[in-house]
A and B are shown apart, each in its own frame.
Chain A
Amino acid sequence: MKRSNKPIFWSLFGAGGMLAALIGPMLVFMTGLAIPGGFLLPPEAMSYERVLALARHPLGKFALLAIIALFLFHAMHRLYHSLHDLGIEVGPGRRALFHGLAGAGTLAAAALLLVIGT
């Protein structure tokens, strides 16, 4: 039987899923509810200055890139399989599209973080 290439994408899926399980809810809570709503944290926590400082810091860049990339690879892998579960035909072309989108998002994030500078 032919060896599957799934291990690469499964590893990315697993890393993204674990990251999402560990800090995903808190990230969404803070950035989507608490800070914009001014509840438990002030709205200024996401001011232009603060977020720019985060995106310019090497650790901040690493964190943002890791979160975006791993969440995308996790989601695309899972959604690709969900299409199969729903009975929609998903050949190697569509698989490449899904993972390609995750790759494109990763590259875009990396490029933006470069442009934002230090």
Chain B
Amino acid sequence: MLISATEYAVTRVGLRKWLELEDIKSRIFKATDNRDLLADAMLSYLSVAFDIPKQDIIDAPWYEVIEAYIEVDKVNQCKEFPVLKGKEKHEEYSWDYDGRTWYVWANALAKNYGWSLEYIANLDPNDAIALMQEIYVDEQIDKEWTWGLSEMAYPYNSTLKKSEFKPLPRPSWMQKVYTVPNVKIRKDFVPVGNVVRLGDWNETAKPS
């Protein structure tokens, strides 16, 4: 990858750098109304990816910077793990700080597998995410077991006059995905006239 006539090798990064790049990427998409922040985030992204000071590429043609960003991002794409698709909003804690994500991951992986920080930092992000998902699943199952043993899991239903089991809610990414089944309908039950399917709804399909 050529930036300002200097060749940079685009390689897949380890977990620690990947987390840093993801943090910067979220800054890029938040800086859509401020050119200074957007440009700074883009340069920071490449600075981290290539291990170079931002100053080295600050005057590079804009399109070379963007091409490099796209290339680095492509090389560092991960699988679409369910854990990454959670809809829960990230709560802000008083003990949060910039760069904490890495320590949260390192803490969880070190605690569960006994690995050193250096080893965890160099894990492939795909492996790390898959393992983190397993850690979260194990934690949830443990919590559900403990929950099932507590009285709180069996609230009294005054209408039925008995206690009913209330399962511990699971995070959205652990919930079953329901798909609407295709149901065959008898021909004489099908509405008469032109049927407009919502999926095909566009300007031309709109009734006049």
A binds B: no
Measuring CB to CB, which residues of chain A are less than 8 angstroms from any residue of chain B? none
Q: Which chain B residues have a beta carbon within 8 Å of chain A's beta carbons? A: none
